[in-house]
Every structure is written in structure tokens, then in C-alpha cells.
Structure 1
Amino acid sequence: MKKIYLPFVLLFALNSYAQEEDAPTKKFNISGSADVYARFNLNSFNRNYDDIDAPAPATSFANHPGFALGMANVIMSYETGKVGAVVDLAYGPRGEDAVFNSIGSSNIINQLYVYWNVSDKVTLSLGNWNTYLGYEVISPTANFNYSTSYMFSYGPFSHTGIKADFALSNEFSAMVAVMNPTDYTEFNPAGTYTLGAQLGYAKDAGSAYLNFLYGDQDGKLDGKGNNGGDVSAGSTFQVDLTAGLDVSDEFYLGFNTTYNTTSTGETFTDTGIQDVDGDDYGFYGAAVYLQYSLSETFALGTRAEYFKEFNGGAGALGVYDSDGDAGVFAVTLSGNIVLGDLMLIPEVRLDSADQDIFTNTDIDGTQESLASLLLAAVYKF
């Protein structure tokens, strides 16, 4: 019996060991942040009236007067072998701005996608993810400046669709995607789709990414009153370049430029659906980011951005000349004070436009410039 029993014990032990060796590795991670801020205008008023809000730069996430809330952000990821999922929840004013085209309970979902690492070179993702365009991101933990740029604020925030990421070599990468219209995160109400692409180059000292987006963002007219009105825009095309370089151990240089244009679309007339006459409209801009670390706990940085809308643009600046053009130059000086996992960000910002887009102190007129102070606190875990 011992001679018969012993081989079975060895076989069972070897089989259990093999199963243990072949079992996929499971990884769970949770991270997130919380941010708050205080913002004050230096050359205009600092309260909201019944019919007018306190002036602020026409950018996202840091435009409320006095003491204000940013968002609470929790990111959970789980991976088993080659497959995984990411759930990114954002709650608060900053989160609401980031997912403004969501409906119902999904307005707290910043990202939600599953992925499959097909190989060491290819990853497929399906769901909703933050945009690949632009230098800045939604989470304040990844931005040096707390307030955001015009280019980031009027480009896309999020995409829902399917994408493929390719590692072409140790330095080069690529991405292609088919997506819903920009920022429609839960489903596709328009019936049209947007194409996205990216070519990237990254080394230890720096990186550069060339990004593309093309597609109809509000659908085609069908004669049945769709699109919520009687006008539909044409297709939108955006090309965007971001780059960054560690000039030295202390000095960093970043750059972003973008061009966004939308063609004139269609409208309902007495004789049916007709093309709209007119020129394409959109915006373009460029920004330089300079950052210098004075110590391990303190750094200074500035963002200098020029932003221009043409033929009415994206409605960012709100006041235009006779050709529908308007531009603004904004300089933001920020400090980063590191207190463990807490970052304090004092900030001075000056926005100077070529049109009178800001309400003056007496609320009886408008002015071209706005100077403001901001202090943000960002905690990450």
C-alpha cells in the first residue's frame, strides 16, 4: 500500500505546485486625492450677484470666488494576469466640470475602462478614459499650476470607445482609437464616431506626443428634429503637440500647442436640409511651461499661454471683433510647497485679452485684463 500511495502523493503535490505556478498574479491598487482652494480678484469684485458671477478666467476648475472646493478623487485598479479594470471616481465641482456631459449617477465617473495586455507590445482598452490631448490633466496632482490653460479647458476632457496602444520600440509608441463624440461618456446620442491617434517619443530626459482627433461631434440632421435644434455643425479636426525636457536636475521646460477647427454644417430650411454658408471656426494656441526646483520641498514655475479664437471659436472668451476673433495672453506664476503628501500651491495669474471680456470692479462696464490670487491645497494618497 505504501508503494501505491506514495506516487499518488507525489503526483498531487506536483500538480498543486504547477497550478500555483500557473495562477495569474492579482494586483489591486487604490489611490486618489482631495483638493480645496481660495481665489480672489485683485482688480475686480469677489462675489456672485443674482445676475452676474464674479469674474474669472474662462478656464476650468478654479473659477469660483473666496474659499471653494475642488474634488475628491478615488482611483481603483485591479489586474489579473493580462487583463484588468480601472474605476476612477471624482466628486465635487472640479469633477462635475470634468464630466459635464454625463447623465444621472454617472456624473461621478471620471474614468471607467477594462483592458487586455494582448502582448508586451499591444494593449486594448474599452470604456471611458481621460483625454490624450493637451499638456494638462483633470487631476490637480499631475499639474504644476492649479488653474488650467485655455487650450486644455476647451479641448476634450474624456473619451468613450475602444483604443489600441502600441509599444513600437523602447522610445516610440502609438495609439489609435474609435470613440463617441467628445465628452459623451455614457453612450452615443449622435450616431457618429470620432477617430483618435497619437504618436509618442519618450526617453529619460524628456518626451513628445503628437495627437490627432477627427469626427462629427453632434451628429447629422435627418429632418426629424434631432440634435436638439435645427443646426448641426460639421466635423471637428484637432492636432495637438505636447513636449517636455529636463534641461537639468533642477530646470524643466514644457511646451504645448494646438489647433482646433470645425467645419460649417447643416440647417433646416423650407426646402429641406441645406449646407450652412460660412468659414470654418475654432481656436489655436501655444503655451510654455518653465519649472525650477529650489529644493526638495519648494519649486517655482510659470505658464505663459496665448489663446486665439477665430470666427466665433468655441465660445470661450464670449466677446469678439467684427470678424468673430478674440485672443488672450495669460501668465500664471505658481509655487509648489511639498509637505509630505500635501502640496500647497500659491498662484498669481494675469489674463490680458484684446477684447473687454471681464466685468470691472464697479459692475458698470468691462475691461481687458483680470489679475487674481489663488492658494490651493492638494492632498494625494
Structure 2
Amino acid sequence: MKTIINTKFAKKILFAALAIVSVQGFSQEEEEKPKFEFTGSVDAYYRSNITAPNGEDAIAPESSFANLDGFALGMANVIASYEGEKVGFVGDLVFGPRGTDAIFASPMYSATGDIVNQLYVYWNVSDAVTLTFGNFNTFLGYEVISPVANFNYSTSYLFSYGPFSHTGLKADFDLGNEWSAMLAVMNPTDLTELNGTGDYAVGAQLGYSGQFLNLLYSQGGFEIDYTGGFDLSEEFFLGINAAHFSQEDDGGSFTGVALYPQYKTSDTFTIGLRGEYFMTGDFFGDIAGIGSDVDGDGSVLALTLTGSATIGDLILKPEIRLDSSSEDVFIDNDREATGSLASVLFAAIYSF
């Protein structure tokens, strides 16, 4: 009897072990199965000046996006991606004013307006090396094109004057112990559809524990950029961005620094301030920078207070912004030149 019982018990153990192995094998197959995703966002906003006219004479800060008057559209962002075990792709399409502004230097191949924000393939050569080929958003700076990934809805001058996107080949390296590096060869900055110049840009990045030092050389212009941030407590985060750009042969320059303190008051609401100081010197020669005088030199101090409330997949962002320039580049409600501008904005962003 004992022999029979023990045999039955052994069979049960064997069957259980086989079942566990089968489940584990099935789970591993599920985990390793290639994954296709369809994601994106839709955003719209309302913007109004406080110290300047609205309507026909409306003005706005000289930074990118979120500068339209009254009720206005951002963009629809549709992203298709495929992640295999070793290879994958991303196709990122944008429709609307924000998307059109983001790809301003790619005007050639769409009868209805350019819609390609990113389009690249990648190969995970090993656990430590990834190669990316195609059109990808820039690796410089704290802010990005998508409003979902930015805390403030309006953008900084540092973001607006820096590169938006690149087309080329880049290699990302995981160096271990929280260190990373990247090397890239690309078309000139923001020429994403084709080269057209015969020149090429080179880029590099060194990262450690969420802090990044970025370098870019393109058509005689060199930019060095630091982007990072620190969790000062569970509720308080401080983001930092600083950059300097200079063009060869006195072609112009800019220098700026922005701080992003953000305080999380609850699971669904965070309040944050972007404080930025930005100055230009004879920017690109014939193209004046913000607040430029007759010599092409100028500066601006911009303070942007933003609240961010989440309701499921919807993000609501009320915002007040104060821009103060070294020169009288704005107008007041009496249509007189002035060096400052106060405005308010309310944005709604849905991500899926």
C-alpha cells in the first residue's frame, strides 16, 4: 500500500513540476513575444494676454508653440511602435499647429503639410549597445515636442532656440553603474527629410544617474547642454537645464539657464515654476534674438507658473507667464512699446 501511495505521490509531484515548467515556459513566451503599440495624445488650449491686446493685435512670447490667440489647437500625435526581441521601429505622426511648427524644416514631400515627427528603426545589438537609424527628436534640452512629457505647457526659450529633431545614425551605450553614452552622425540640425547641403552634424552625450551632458556640432555651430534633475524629497523635484551655443565667424550665440521646481501636493495635482534667464548675441547674424538691440544683443527673464491636474488619462494645466525683456519688444494695452508681457493659458491634454 505504501508503495502504491508513494508512487501516486511521486506522479503528482512530477505532474506539478511539469505544470510549473509549462507555465513558466508559457510566461517566458508571453514576455518575449514581440509587442506592437498604438499610443499618442491630443491637446488644445485657451490663451489670453493680460498686459497686451488680444484679437487682431495679439502678441505672444517669442518662444515656440502655444502662441495662438483665444481658443486654439495644439496637435494630434499618433505613434505606432513595434518592439521585438532585438529590433523594432517607431512611426510618430503629428497633425495640427504644434506639429507643423515642430517640423518647420521639412517642407518637401507632403502635399497636405508635413506630418512625420519621428520615423526610425533600431537594433539592440547587445544588452549594452543600441543602434538607431532614421529621424528622432533631439537629445538636447529638458523640454520636448510632445506636451505630455513637459510639465509646463508653453515652452522655454532654451527649447525654442535649440534643435528640435535630427536624422541620422546614433549609437547608445549602457556603460553600467548608471553611466551611459551616445554618439551620433546626422544631417544638419532639423533637416529631417534629406540632407541637401553636403554637410553633416555630430553629436555626443554622457549620462550618469539621470544627469546628461550633451554636445552638438552642426554647420559651424557648437552647442553644449546640461539637462538633469534631483528628487529633493518625495514631493519636491528640481529640474535643471543650461546651454550655450555659438556660431563660427561671429554668427551669433545664445546662453541660458532654466530651473524647474515642482511640488506634488497630492496624487493628482502638482504645481511647478519654470524660471528662465536667456540671452542672445547677434543671433545668426541677420536674425535677431529675443530682446535684441541694434547690436543684436538681448536678454529675457521668463517666469511660468503651472498647475498640473490629472483626471484619468486627461491632464489639465492652468498657467500664468511673465516675460521681461531687456528691450521693448512687446506692446501694452495702449499699443505702446514695452519690455514686459503677462499672459494666461489653460490647456487640456489627453494621452492614450
Shift of 1:313: 5.1
Q: 1:34 aligns to what?
A: 42
2:82 is the alignment partner of 1:75:
no
Deviations 1:16-45 (A, max 9, x none): x9xx97xx7311111110000000000111
2:260 is the alignment partner of 1:289:
yes
Q: 2:135 aligns to what?
A: 128
Shift of 1:316: 5.9
Shift of 1:317: 3.9
Contact 1:313 1:325 in 2 (8 A): no
Q: 1:11 aligns to what?
A: none
Of residues 209, 214, 217 in structure 2, which corresponds to 1:214?
217
State how far apart, in whole Å, the 2-side matches of 1:345 and 1:318 are.
26
Q: What is the number of residues matched between the two proteins?
A: 321
Contact 1:293 1:299 in 2 (8 A): yes
State how far apart, in whole Å, the 2-side matches of 1:86 and 1:318 are.
35
Shift of 1:324: 1.8
Shift of 1:79: 2.3
Amino acid at match of 2:307: G
Shift of 1:81: 2.2
SS of equivalent to 1:48: helix
State how far apart, in whole Å, the 1-side matches of 2:201 and 2:289 are.
26
Shift of 1:156: 0.3
Q: 1:329 aligns to what?
A: 301
2:76 is the alignment partner of 1:91:
no
Matches within 5 A, 1:292-311: 292-311=263-282
Contact 1:154 1:316 in 2 (8 A): no
Q: 1:231 aligns to what?
A: none
SS of equivalent to 1:95: helix
Contact 1:283 1:313 in 2 (8 A): no
Shift of 1:288: 0.5
Q: 2:337 aligns to what?
A: 366
Matches within 5 A, 1:47-196: 47-48=55-56, 54-103=58-107, 104-105=109-110, 107-196=114-203
Q: RMSD of the TM alignment (CA)?
A: 1.8
2:233 is the alignment partner of 1:248:
yes
Shift of 1:280: 4.3
Shift of 1:55: 1.0
Judged with a 3 Å threshold, the aligned counterparts in structure 2 of structure 1 residues 94 and 316 are, in CA distance, closer, same or farther, namely farther
Contact 1:313 1:324 in 2 (8 A): no
Shift of 1:48: 2.7
State how far apart, in whole Å, the 1-side matches of 2:270 and 2:291 are.
36
Q: Which has the higher mean CA deviation after the structures are superposed, 98-107 or 287-296? A: 98-107
Matches within 5 A, 1:231-270: 235-264=220-249
State how far apart, in whole Å, the 2-side matches of 1:255 and 1:319 are.
23
Deviations 1:143-189 (A, max 9, x none): 11000000000100000000000000130000000000111111001
Quote the sequence identity (%): 57
Q: 1:226 aligns to what?
A: none
What TM-score comes out, normalization by structure 2 length?
0.88
What TM-score comes out, normalization by structure 1 length?
0.81
2:328 is the alignment partner of 1:377:
no
Q: Flag structure 1 segments of 5+ consecutive residues without an equivalent.
A: 1-16, 217-234, 265-278
State how far apart, in whole Å, the 1-side matches of 2:323 and 2:185 are.
36
Contact 2:90 2:119 in 1 (8 A): yes
SS of equivalent to 2:278: strand
Amino acid at match of 2:166: H
Shift of 1:320: 2.3
State how far apart, in whole Å, the 2-side matches of 1:290 and 1:113 are.
33
Q: Flag structure 2 segments of 5+ consecutive residues without an equivalent.
A: 1-24
Shift of 1:293: 0.6
State how far apart, in whole Å, the 2-side matches of 1:41 and 1:101 are.
29
Contact 2:283 2:289 in 1 (8 A): no
